[in-house]
């Protein structure tokens, strides 16, 4: 090949590279995945929260204790007072600049909020925790930073450590390659790299990691083109946002913005000098210099980097001494504030996939505001894990053989506060809360009672708890049995539900008409039953926890169908609204009938299958469910503002050996102990009648074991002999002194 031919070839190759590199670099909008945020914690006078609980929430968000609040992301705790330097944040309502606020406490409550000049504030929102990112299928994730968002120490440190000739070289450095080779040979290990920052950017952006001469030459050619076409500032900004800093499962950590959140749970601009040096130390080999697996190795490299900072005048002697003395301070697993919740994120994606193409969600920098309450999520997840382990120990069940799924919603809005897909919250994959469909057992029985109430029956009406035989799906005769194998004659409807009597419920369903009960189910859930046979009446209907939650939302809300909802608002990268996800209400039950049903479910907790709950007398309502051979354990229960549904069983569909009361109810109980209970409110216009529990007859509490039940048609009721509702002499005398 002649010299001229070689020049033509080289020139042509550079033109080819120029077109590829320039078009891609100029045309690329950084792949900015949609950021997903939880509910923000709202502070206001009267909020029940202690100073220590508030500090815990602040530390979840990466705030650090400080004596003088020098910058955002700091807090100071004093006696009955917490001062906070809030960060800037673009809320749904608009942008809020960082501001100092003070919260004053007394008796476990906030009594006053003021700003730094003493003005009283009605409401202050902490910025919401980032709980997820919808990143591309190849797993790259990043938080894109502008030059002002990058600390000067990081910029100077990158040049000092990774590429001293960055500001002067044309994209590659022969001196740098030679110096790195000599240093590595002397150290007996790879301590320096020969690639410039521009070459590293090319490798991360355009090329594979294969170690061949051809690839290296392409790398140099592309680096030269980038240097000719773009400014050093553009290249440094790209490098800051692109460099690979680690792997979290399927999620690749790119750029210093995400690296700061992943390793320290704080924005990059808030990191201390020693933390910035730690991030720089990881560049050389994110696997080899993994601070979680090899802290001593990373600490040693970090300190060498700090020494270089000092020698180069980037930091002074005092700053160097302070940084050297600090620990690594990395936060395992992105810490609580940056935690990713795979189960809940599945629901977010499900709600958005009909509105936005996948590419838009993974590249256009959207901000998605959701309903998740991280505190409730973590407390419920902990309750699930501990309770399953406790059950396995107590009942000699194989360790880790039980699984669970559940969902906690706000009962008046359907907003999802927590979603549990298994005992290990961090695992991606099959989402039991959304995709596991198991027969729900007696959890379905309130649908039949509701159908009866809508047919003008009362809870005190009677039904036969007697043997019955019906055709089954297989064509054979189906003869259901009660749990204890006995029959109970004629019983009131409330006892049929409270004691979960199979025969009574099947007889009632047949009397009402299976088709009518299933129409009611369709109204409550928005779908036809999968099982068209009478076994449906005993819960031979496969459903997922999220579907059961929608069913019970009709009861917990006071008569409205509320589809479980995860997404509130979506903003574009500039903070402008793209979509608002309103609460959709559809009334399905008359309020009076809904209240009557809920009184029966509350009675089920106090006197029926839920009586083993520690909250049985706390004004909560719910129903257990158990399937054939104890394969599946269910419980759905609610208080005045929360609905929680849980399933417990085995993934192989073998018997768990658990009933609804011995499995899912225990998980529900443990969860409510952690997140609190608010007793159901009783409508002011509700009229309750004293009924002897076992007979269903009217009676005075002083002469019978009574319960209070709403009854519409009193003419159908009889009175227990010798126990009329007229006042006794003693009661009349007491009323004289109390009126």
Domain-by-domain residue ranges, the chain? 3-29+140-329, 40-127, 406-675, 688-738
Residue 542 has a CB neighbour count (10 Å cut-off) of 16
pLDDT of residue 389: 97
pLDDT of residue 185: 59
Least confident of 205-214, 297-306, 493-502: 205-214
Mean pLDDT of the chain: 88
Residue 83 has a CB neighbour count (10 Å cut-off) of 18
pLDDT of residue 682: 80
The catalytic position among 195, 442, 600, 656 is: 442
CA gap 358, 658 in Å, rounded: 41
The catalytic position among 57, 127, 162, 550 is: 162
pLDDT of residue 2: 65
pLDDT of residue 208: 57
Q: 365-387 pLDDT, tens per residue?
A: 889 999 999 999 999 999 999 99
Residue 324 has a CB neighbour count (10 Å cut-off) of 16
Beta bridge partners of 47: none
Asked whether residue 143 carries a pLDDT value surpassing 90, the answer given is no
Whole-prediction pTM value? 0.86
Q: How confident is the model at residue 99 (pLDDT cuts 50, 70, 90)?
A: very high
| pLDDT, average across residues 581-602 | 94
> Could you give the C-alpha distances from 55 to 41, 50, 80, 602, in angstroms and in order?
12, 9, 12, 37
Query: Taking a C-beta distance cutoff of 8 angstroms, is the pair 367, 130 a contact?
Result: no
Query: Taking a C-beta distance cutoff of 8 angstroms, is the pair 496, 463 a contact?
Result: yes
Q: How confident is the model at residue 737 (pLDDT cuts 50, 70, 90)?
A: very low
232 closest CA partner among 177, 164, 168: 168
Quote the longest CA-to-CA distance of the chain.
Answer: 125
| pLDDT, average across residues 448-470 | 96
pLDDT of residue 524: 97
CA gap 494, 518 in Å, rounded: 20
Q: What percent of the chain has pLDDT over 70?
A: 87
207 closest CA partner among 20, 344, 333, 372: 20
Q: What are phi and psi of 140, to 5 degrees?
A: -80, 140
Angle between helices 273-283 and 152-162 (to 10 degrees): 40
| pLDDT, average across residues 153-172 | 89
DSSP-assigned letter for residue 288: T
pLDDT of residue 117: 92
Q: How confident is the model at residue 1 (pLDDT cuts 50, 70, 90)?
A: low
> To which H or E segment does residue 701 belong?
none
The CATH T-level fold of domain 406-675 is: Beta-lactamase (3.40.710)
Asked whether residue 536 carries a pLDDT value surpassing 80, the answer given is yes
pLDDT of residue 476: 85
Query: Taking a C-beta distance cutoff of 8 angstroms, is the pair 157, 309 a contact?
Result: yes
pLDDT of residue 145: 83
> Could you confirm whether 442 is annotated as catalytic?
yes
pLDDT of residue 217: 75
Q: 631-660 pLDDT, tens per residue?
A: 999 999 999 999 999 999 999 999 999 999
Q: Which residues contact 697 (CB under 8 A, 6 or more apart)?
A: 691, 717, 718, 719, 720, 723
Tokens 């919260």 map to which residue?
103
CA gap 438, 444 in Å, rounded: 12
Query: Taking a C-beta distance cutoff of 8 angstroms, is the pair 502, 480 a contact?
Result: yes
pLDDT of residue 361: 83
pLDDT of residue 24: 62
CA gap 632, 654 in Å, rounded: 9
CA gap 90, 367 in Å, rounded: 9
pLDDT of residue 320: 96
And the tokens for 538?
Answer: 């005993």
Q: 331-372 pLDDT, tens per residue?
A: 864 444 445 788 999 999 999 988 888 878 877 888 999 999
3-state DSSP assignment of residue 244 = strand
CA gap 307, 295 in Å, rounded: 18
Pick the CATH number of 3-29+140-329 from 3.40.50.300, 3.40.50.11440, 1.10.3810.10, 3.20.20.60: 1.10.3810.10
Q: Which residues contact 341 (CB under 8 A, 6 or more apart)?
A: 131, 132, 372, 377, 419, 425
- Does the domain at 40-127 match CATH 3.30.2060.10? Answer given as yes
| pLDDT, average across residues 401-405 | 97
Residue 649 burial by CB count (10 A; 0-12/13-18/19+): exposed, middle or buried?
Answer: buried
> Could you confirm whether 162 is annotated as catalytic?
yes
Asked whether residue 456 carries a pLDDT value surpassing 80, the answer given is yes
Asked whether residue 453 carries a pLDDT value surpassing 90, the answer given is yes
pLDDT of residue 644: 98
Asked whether residue 13 carries a pLDDT value surpassing 80, the answer given is no
Asked whether residue 218 carries a pLDDT value surpassing 80, the answer given is no
């Amino acid at each position: 090949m002649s010299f001229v031919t070689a020049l033509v070839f080289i020139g042509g190759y550079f033109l080819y590279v120029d077109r590829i590199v320039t078009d891609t670099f100029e045309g690329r909008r950084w792949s900015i995945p949609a950021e997903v945020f939880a509910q923000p914690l709202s502070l206001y006078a009267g909020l029940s929260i202690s100073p220590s609980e508030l500090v815990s929430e602040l530390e979840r968000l990466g705030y650090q204790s400080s004596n003088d609040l020098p910058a955002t992301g700091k807090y100071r705790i004093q006696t009955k007072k917490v001062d906070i330097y809030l960060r800037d944040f673009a809320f749904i309502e608009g942008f809020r600049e960082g501001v100092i606020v003070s919260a004053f406490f007394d008796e476990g409550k906030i009594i006053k909020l003021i700003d730094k000049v003493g003005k009283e504030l009605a409401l202050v929102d902490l910025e919401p925790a980032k709980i997820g990112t919808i990143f591309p299928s190849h797993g790259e994730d990043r938080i894109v930073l502008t030059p002002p968002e990058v600390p000067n120490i990081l910029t100077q440190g990158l040049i000092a450590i990774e590429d001293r000739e960055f500001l002067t070289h044309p994209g590659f450095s022969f001196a740098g390659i030679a110096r790195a080779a000599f240093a590595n040979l002397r150290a007996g290990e790879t301590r320096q790299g020969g690639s410039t920052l521009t070459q590293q950017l090319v490798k991360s952006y355009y090329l594979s990691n294969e170690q061949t001469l051809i690839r290296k030459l392409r790398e140099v050619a592309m680096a030269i083109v980038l240097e000719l076409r773009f400014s050093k500032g553009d290249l440094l900004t790209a490098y800051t946002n692109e460099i690979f800093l680690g792997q979290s499962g399927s999620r690749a950590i790119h750029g210093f913005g995400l690296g700061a959140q992943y390793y320290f749970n704080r924005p990059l601009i808030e990191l201390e000098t020693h933390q910035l040096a730690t991030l720089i130390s990881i560049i050389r080999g994110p696997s080899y210099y993994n601070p979680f697996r090899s802290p001593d190795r990373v600490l040693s490299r970090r300190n060498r980097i700090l020494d270089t900072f000092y020698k180069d005048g980037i930091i002074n002697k005092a700053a160097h001494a302070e940084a050297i003395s600090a620990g690594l301070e990395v936060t395992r697993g992105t810490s609580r504030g940056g935690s990713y919740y795979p189960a809940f994120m599945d629901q977010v994606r499900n709600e958005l996939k009909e509105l936005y193409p996948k590419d838009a969600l993974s590249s256009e920098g959207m901000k998605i505001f959701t309903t998740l309450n991280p505190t409730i999520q973590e407390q419920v997840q902990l309750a699930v894990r501990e309770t399953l382990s406790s059950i396995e120990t107590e009942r000699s069940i194989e360790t880790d053989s039980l699984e669970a799924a559940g969902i906690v919603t706000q009962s008046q809005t359907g907003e999802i506060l927590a979603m549990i897909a298994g005992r290990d919250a961090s695992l991606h994959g099959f989402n039991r809360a959304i995709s596991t469909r198991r027969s729900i057992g007696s959890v379905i029985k309130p649908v039949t009672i509701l159908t009866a109430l809508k047919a003008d029956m009362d809870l005190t009406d009677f039904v036969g708890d007697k043997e019955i035989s019906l055709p089954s799906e297989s064509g054979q005769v189906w003869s259901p049995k009660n749990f204890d194998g006995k029959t109970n004659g004629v019983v009131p409807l409330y006892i049929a539900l409270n004691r979960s009597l199979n025969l009574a419920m099947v007889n009632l369903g047949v009397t009402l008409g299976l088709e009518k009960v299933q129409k009611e189910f369709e109204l409550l859930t928005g779908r036809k039953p999968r099982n068209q046979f009478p076994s449906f009446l005993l819960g031979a209907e496969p459903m997922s926890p999220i579907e059961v939650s929608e069913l019970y939302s009709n009861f917990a809300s006071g008569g409205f169908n509320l589809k479980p909802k995860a997404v509130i608002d979506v903003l574009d990268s500039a903070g402008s609204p793209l979509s608002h996800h309103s609460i959709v209400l559809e009334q399905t039950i008359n309020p009076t009938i809904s209240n009557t049903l809920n009184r029966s479910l509350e009675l089920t907790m106090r006197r029926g299958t839920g009586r083993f709950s520690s909250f049985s007398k706390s004004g909560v309502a719910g129903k257990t469910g158990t399937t054939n051979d104890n394969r599946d354990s269910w419980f759905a229960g609610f208080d005045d503002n929360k609905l929680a549904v849980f399933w417990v069983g085995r993934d192989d569909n073998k018997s768990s050996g658990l009933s609804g009361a011995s499995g899912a109810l225990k998980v529900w109980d443990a969860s409510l102990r952690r997140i609190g209970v608010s007793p159901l409110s009783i409508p002011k216009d509700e009229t309750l009648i004293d009924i002897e529990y076992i007979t269903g007859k009217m009676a005075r509490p002083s002469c019978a074991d009574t319960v209070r039940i709403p009854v519409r048609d009193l003419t159908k009721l009889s009175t227990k002999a010798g126990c009329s509702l007229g006042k006794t002499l003693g009661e009349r005398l007491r009323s004289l002194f109390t009126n």
